[in-house]
Amino acid sequence: MGRTPCCDKNGMKKGPWTVEEDQKLLDYIQKHGHGRWRTLPKNAGLKRCGKSCRLRWTNYLRPDIKRGRFSFEEEEAIIQLHGILGNKWSAIAARLPGRTDNEIKNYWNTRIRKKLLRMGIDPVTHAPRMDLLELASLLGSSLYNSSLQLNVPAGSLGMGPMVNDDVLTLATALLSSHCENPELQLQNLLENQLRNPQVQNQFESFQGNNLQSSIQEVQACPTSSAASTPFLNETQLMQAIAEHLSQNPTDFAYQNSLPNLWQVHGGHPITAASFTNPTLSFDSIPSSITGHQTLKSNAVSNNTQNFSFDSVLSTPSSTSTPLDSSQMTYAKGSTEDERDSYCSNFLMFDIPSDLDVNAIM
């Protein structure tokens, strides 16, 4: 709109490239190198615009392009980097040798994005969707109260008409998930305690002692993200974050994450969840979810100023022992199902694959 086309459309060919066109472009670039895209097609004898030539070269003809399926490590790296960089496909591609931004973008939109949605993860923020969490917490609390205290059907609580089978299935999945879902499990546990007057008086001791042991329990869980094997090393991720911050100096979530990395992770490999769920830091959980402001402040005061609940949960800080082979085998499943399954654990948010989340939304 208002902008002149990149080239004269008259006589310019569009659509899929032929073998002859590819060969012409390749021959020309081998002789003269790439660049000067505006004049290249004319010099190369191509009836294409420069933009089209550049795209064909960068996305298809470049000799260093890797073909074939994305490996597990590549997929994990994409998720990690997307958590840091967002839709900066070219920046992500720069860290994945042989992959183009277009290829990564397509892979994200056709596979990873759907996978995250299926698991109840917001693909934009990489955090569990708060509407799902609130729903699950609401249901969890109500079901808890109704089954243990009031012993009345959910419908009597006024939620019956709002809740269909899928929602109940989802809530059940969320609430019954054990080690696959440590944050949510703990969150619901806390919330149920807070909302239940009969257990409120146990809350103080839970805060003081059990919180730590619960965290350790979660850390010890072999299916938590502690078992993940990061494709990117710490330095690479730090570089990506630094780059992100240099472009987004007001992104406090990442600013806060930087000191946490060194304090909490203590030089151990950084798991993806630490980066991909920046909004999951305990202090960022709205009090409407935790239901108790002092819980947040106490938890924070028990540690450093930069305490990150998520970091603690997702980091094997108690040991630097390398993963054993059984964990590795589990994590490195080669089939699509195994990869899906691992991805769920990797992101610590497991929802049955046959559950239609989209329908609920």
Name the residues that contact DNA, by CB under 7 A. Answer: 1-6, 13-17, 35-38, 48, 50-52, 54-56, 59-60, 87-91, 101-103, 105-107, 109-111, 114
Residue 51 Cβ vs DNA, minimum distance, rounded to whole Å: 6
Buried b (16+ CB within 10 A) or exposed e, 217-252: ebbebebbbbbbbbbbeeebbbebbebbbeeeeeee
Residue 247 Cβ vs DNA, minimum distance, rounded to whole Å: 10
Eight-state DSSP code of residue 69: P
* CB closer to DNA, 41 vs 140: 41
* CB closer to DNA, 12 vs 199: 12
Reduced to 3 states, what is the DSSP secondary structure of residue 322? coil
Reduced to 3 states, what is the DSSP secondary structure of residue 351? coil
* CB closer to DNA, 5 vs 267: 5
Residue 20 Cβ vs DNA, minimum distance, rounded to whole Å: 12
Q: DSSP letters of 176-239? A: H--TT-HHHHHHHHHHHHHH-HHHHTTHHHIIIIIHHHHHHHHHH-TTSGGG---SS-HHHHHH
* CB closer to DNA, 144 vs 342: 342
Tell which residue, 166, 150, 174, 164, has the closest CA to residue 142.
150
Q: What is the dihedral of CA 59, 65, 66, 67, to 10 degrees?
A: 50
Residue 319 Cβ vs DNA, minimum distance, rounded to whole Å: 38
* CB closer to DNA, 24 vs 195: 24
Eight-state DSSP code of residue 294: H
Q: Is the dihedral of CA 295, 297, 300, 303 positive or negative?
A: negative
Residue 1 Cβ vs DNA, minimum distance, rounded to whole Å: 4
* CB closer to DNA, 75 vs 103: 103
Measured distance CA(193)–CA(187) in Å, rounded: 10
Residue 261 Cβ vs DNA, minimum distance, rounded to whole Å: 24
